Amino acid sequence: MPVKRLTDLSMTLFLVVLLVSDCLAQAAGTASTPQNLIFFGRERSRISEANFLETGSIVGAQLKYTWKELEPVRDKYELALILSDLAFLQGHGKVLFIQLQDVSFADAIVNVPEYLREDPIFNGGAARQYAFEDDEETNPVASGWVARRWDPAVRGRFIKLLHVLGEALDGRIEGISLPETSIEFGESGAFHPPGFTYDKYMEGLKIVMTAAGEAFPQSQVIQYANFMPGEWLPGGDRGYLKGIYQHADQIDVGVGGPDILPHRKWQQKHSYPLIAQRGPDTKAGVAVQWGNLADTNPTTGEKVTVA
């Protein structure tokens, strides 16, 4: 897919272009033109920059909103930031694509509401993730927090948030992306949170995907699906990641993920072929993130190009 970059924006940090392709046109054998959006993350003020607003080939912005800020108190929803960003973008002929965040990749940040962590019914609300220096898991390093997506009580609250957002925003925003499926608790089980199993995790993701599709029948839903715990493709295939892509095809939810790293072996073994093999009616949203254009071909040493 062709990607156009803004000269000035390309020099800044945190650049992502989100591509939502028209698979129906592909199936019909005609050329498909991706939509290009800039991911500003939480730097909302940057949507007012002139080089973004004045570039017609960039149709809008993808902005990140956390569960914690959207539901600071149980059943009290704060959508003012989204509505303000939406009004500004629409006023300048741009669209808004939301990234809804229930996960962090820094140990100091927890993106779930405090009531989930305080009420025992939610079992802590979020679980700490770990990075491991070796397969023996002898040196765990805390690396962020993820909502207990496998926990029905926590998942039910997230689904309610999706429906609140859908009631206010469906058909008004371009779409909404659900966070990446990749999480890390190790394989030994020593660092697995209470109640977590690989099967429960996969089923929990499917339930949320279905709920998101129901909450947003008009705006596009994208599930970022890059890796799944409990398997490693191709040799350790247990059907988890493939199951997410199959479910997306069945319920008309899009697929994709963070990062364009075409020379990375494990991306080639996991999400990339599944994105390419998605159903003919399934949209794809793929993020070109910071550092991606510095990636090099290990054979030639050349940097990846925009084309």
pLDDT in tens, 214-246: 999 999 999 999 999 999 999 999 999 999 999
Which CATH code fits 9-294? Answer: 3.20.20
pLDDT of residue 15: 39
Dihedral pair phi/psi, residue 60, rounded to 5°: 180, -165
Residue 27 neighbours by CB under 8 Å, 6+ apart: 280, 281
Pick out the chain residues at pLDDT < 50: 1-17, 21-31
pLDDT of residue 19: 57
pLDDT of residue 216: 98
pLDDT of residue 18: 56
Q: Per residue in 116-145, pLDDT tens?
A: 999 999 999 999 999 998 878 988 999 999
